[in-house]
Structure 1
Amino acid sequence: MSDTMHLTLTDRIEEPGNIIRLRFARADGAALPPVTPGAHLDIHLSDGPLDLWRQYSLCSDCSQTDHYEIGVLRDPKSRGGSEAVHRLAQPGTVFKVEGPRNHFLLDETASRTVLLGGGIGITPMLAMAQRLHALGRDFTLHYCTRSAEITAFRQLIAAAPWADRVVFHFDDQPDAQRLDLARDLPPPAPGTRLYVCGPQGFMDWVITTAEAAGHQTANVHREYFSADVDTTGTSFEVIAKRSGLTVTVGPDDTIAKALARAGVKIEVKCEEGVCGTCVTDVLDGTPDHRDKFLTEDEREEGTMICACCSRACTKTLVLDL
């Protein structure tokens, strides 16, 4: 488990499109734990009855150790996390932070890399672009937004030495300027890697199209910020083998909540199956995977489950808890 830190917000930069760029540092200025491109922070949001953990990708240069930087979209359709960040994130505020963790690792040995960021999904791509440039690697960054006027980080990108590697795509522009996957994706090749992050619809479109074009699943890397997940279904039983407990997970319940009521706590943060915090080993039974975190190979193995949202295909699941 990652160590807990208390970091001070030193800068708040307003970006277009209801996005804020936030910079965190230690109060004493000491170096922060090292990070790799694609890493994220778990940030605790506490304000009255609000008690949430949310994950935000680092967009800063990973070679810098004096600060971390993230970008946060204010999304009124979210479950309260982004609104809380925009309200609470004032310079001088101290936040409880865990991480960094990385489930979106950059393959630095790839012969060609294509980064595809939709909206706020650009944040991990910025860190990857900086690293690939420093390594002298061949890469292109496609950045898709609704319009130029609400495109965050444009000034940061314009000042970057890798600005010529960035292709902007705006929805309100002619078709030739929009992202065209038939044109903009490279041919499949063993040394070519694709990285995609953004809204679920954008990601599903890119991933499905890339794999249909012949890109191997293992070469198409993805990270979901959020997901539309249906956690409901038929009741089933969960046996927590080490704890010697059996619980019933009802139609509108989740494994994590049912076990918590019985005294078996599974750490949960995103509640949408995107962060991997709640992944638990399965000893017997068949999971009904609802998450966006596990790979297809991991799903087929059936030895792990995201307890915050996934269910069971069998009447009973035995977990290593």
Structure 2
Amino acid sequence: MKKIQVVIERRTDEAKDVVSLVLRRPDGENLPAFSPGAHIDLFLPNGMTRQYSLIGDCGDCDETDRYEIAVSKAANSRGGSLCVHVALNEGNALEISEPRNNFPLQPGHDTFQFIAGGIGITPILSMIRHCERRGWPWRLLYLARSRAHAAFHGELSAFGPDRVRFHFDDEAGFLFDFAHTSFIVESGVPIYCCGPAPVMKAVEDFALSHPDNPAFFEWFSPPVESGPGGVATGFDIRLQRSGQVLHVPEDRTILDVLEEHGYALPCSCREGMCRTCETGVIDGVPDHRDYVLSGGERAAGRTMMICVSRAKSPMLVLDV
């Protein structure tokens, strides 16, 4: 994975427990272009790697003299967001990856319903700025614990209540109810949603009962109630380039087994969320357990996330 050297030019407190960082190359050269919904890997000084959505400038992502990200300090942080909040300051040097996009705006639509929960506003804000530049109609439902926790509240409020609806749990006294008659999405309008797992699950349920509204999601973490897929069983993998055959037991992942045999493959989240470990499938039937592949990609079976996905066939031949 190609790494890019950047410096933190500006750090801003955007909301309670939310900071934004503006990143530039030390030499001032442009960074790679990206599209709304894209993210980068941040290689943190504590050795961790975390993914954060890019916030497009003025909705036009070809202005790439800088990147902006926003990071919420998680209450149960495993060290990633806490490191950003405590250890990163203006002037610090960092390494990042090139942008990747698992959450792009799909072609064929020019009207959008956006739903953001908490820090899930970051990819959505990039999409909103993109739509504004092109004159495309959109609406946003923004859910947050409180007004103080709502990042970019000022910018979004300026669009007016006809386009931006806020729901703050502490002021309302309850969580938002997607089944309430006040929440209406016109037939045919796609839904783009990013936020914590409970919000995503509620929007998934809404979309299932509204098949005329295609829904697209950016998951920050897997659903709490269960992981994707069913019972794990063992299987074999053959590595196309060397011909080596390895067994993947029921309690290990493909990535685990490859690492145990000396293969250093790109990986990050190890939860099927980021697409870093995507690997080509030459033969066999994958058992997809990730959260990033499209329905068409799953059906084709030519690629898989080896950190979580398994096999439906006795053997997989991988492009490794």
| Same-fold call, TM cutoff 0.5 | yes
2:65 matched residue in structure 1? 66
Does residue 216 of structure 2 align to residue 225 of structure 1?
A: no
CA distance in 2, matches of 1:277, 1:95: 19
Aligned match of 2:167 in 162, 166, 169? Answer: 169
Tell me if structure 1 keeps the 8 A contact 2:118–2:149: no
Query: Post-superposition shift, 1:149?
Result: 2.7
Shift of 1:136: 0.9
The structural deviation recorded for 1:239 is 1.5
Per the TM alignment, residue 302 of structure 1 is displaced from its structure 2 partner at its CA by 2.6
Distance verdict in 2 for CA 1:107–1:250, change over 3 Å: closer
Q: Which amino acid aligns with 2:25?
A: R
- Paired residue for 2:234? 235
Deviation at residue 195 of structure 1 after TM alignment: 0.7
Deviations 1:95-120 (A, max 9, x none): 10111222211247523101111111
Residue deviations 1:50-89, cap 9 Å, x none? x222110012425343321111111142432212222221
Q: Is the 8 Å Cα contact of residues 178 and 203 (structure 2) preserved in structure 1?
A: no
Alpha-carbon displacement from aligned partner over 1:119-158 (angstroms, at most 9, x marks no partner)? 1111011111111111111101111111223222213334
What secondary structure is seen at the aligned counterpart in 1 of 2:115? strand
Are 1:35 and 2:31 matched, yes or no? no
Equivalent residue letter for 1:168: F
Moved more, 25-34 or 227-236: 227-236
Superposed, which structure 2 residues align to 1:185-196 within 5 Å? 185-189=184-188, 192-196=189-193
Match of 1:56 in 2: 52
Distance 1:162 1:43, change over 3 A: farther
- Looking at structure 1, the residues matched to 138 and 120 of structure 2 have their Cα atoms a distance apart, in angstroms, of 17
Name the stretch that deviates more: 272-281 or 173-182: 173-182
Number of matched residues? 312
Alignment correspondent of 1:264: 263
User: After superposition, where does 1:12-161 map in structure 2 within 5 Å?
Assistant: 12-47=11-46, 51-61=47-57, 62-63=59-60, 64-107=63-106, 110-158=109-157, 160=158
CA pair 176-77 structure 1, distance change in 2 beyond 3 A: closer
Structure-2 separation of matches of 1:307 and 1:261 = 14
Shift of 1:177: 9.1
Cα deviation, residue 163, structure 1? 7.5
Change (3 A) 1:35 1:300: closer
Aligned letter for 1:227? P
**Residues 287 and 14 of structure 1, relative CA distance in 2, 3 Å threshold:** same
How far does residue 162 in structure 1 lie from its aligned partner after superposition? 6.9
Q: 1 CA distance for matches of 2:65 and 2:317?
A: 45
Mapped to 1, the partners of 2:166 and 2:277 lie a distance apart of 36
CA RMSD of aligned residues (A): 2.5
Shift of residue 91 of structure 1?
0.7
Give percent identity, aligned residues only.
Answer: 36
Kindly report which structure 2 residues correspond to 1:3-14, keeping only aligned pairs within 5 A, or say none. 3-14=2-13
Question: What is the identity, as a one-letter code, of the residue corresponding to 1:214?
Answer: P
Query: Unaligned 5+ residue runs, structure 1?
Result: none
Instruction: Give the deviation of 1:280 after TM superposition.
Output: 1.4
Distance 1:14 1:184, change over 3 A: same
Verify the 8 A CA contact 1:114 1:195 in the aligned structure 2.
Answer: yes
From the superposition, tell whether residues 250 and 97 of structure 1 become closer, same or farther in structure 2 (CA, over 3 Å).
same
Q: Which residue does 2:272 correspond to in 1?
A: 273
Secondary structure at 1:266's aligned position in 2?
Answer: coil
Other-structure match for 2:302? 303
- Encode CA deviations 1:282-309: one digit per residue, 9 max, x unaligned: 2333322221011223223333211011
Stretches of structure 2 lacking an aligned partner (at least 5 in a row): none
Query: TM-score when scaled to structure 2?
Result: 0.88
Match of 2:178 in 1: 180
Q: Does 1:204 align with 2:195?
A: no
Tell me what 1:291 maps to: 290
Q: 1:135 to 1:257 in 2, by over 3 A?
A: same
Q: Deviations over 1:215-256 (max 9, x none)?
A: 35xx32211122254798332222212221122223332111
The residue type paired with residue 197 of structure 2 is Q
Post-superposition offset of 1:6: 0.7
**For residue 54 of structure 1, what is the amino acid of its counterpart?**
R
Letter in 2 for 1:178: F
Q: Is the contact between residue 283 and residue 320 of structure 1 (CA under 8 Å) also seen in structure 2?
A: yes
Q: Who is 1:315 aligned against?
A: 314
SS in 2 for 1:100: coil
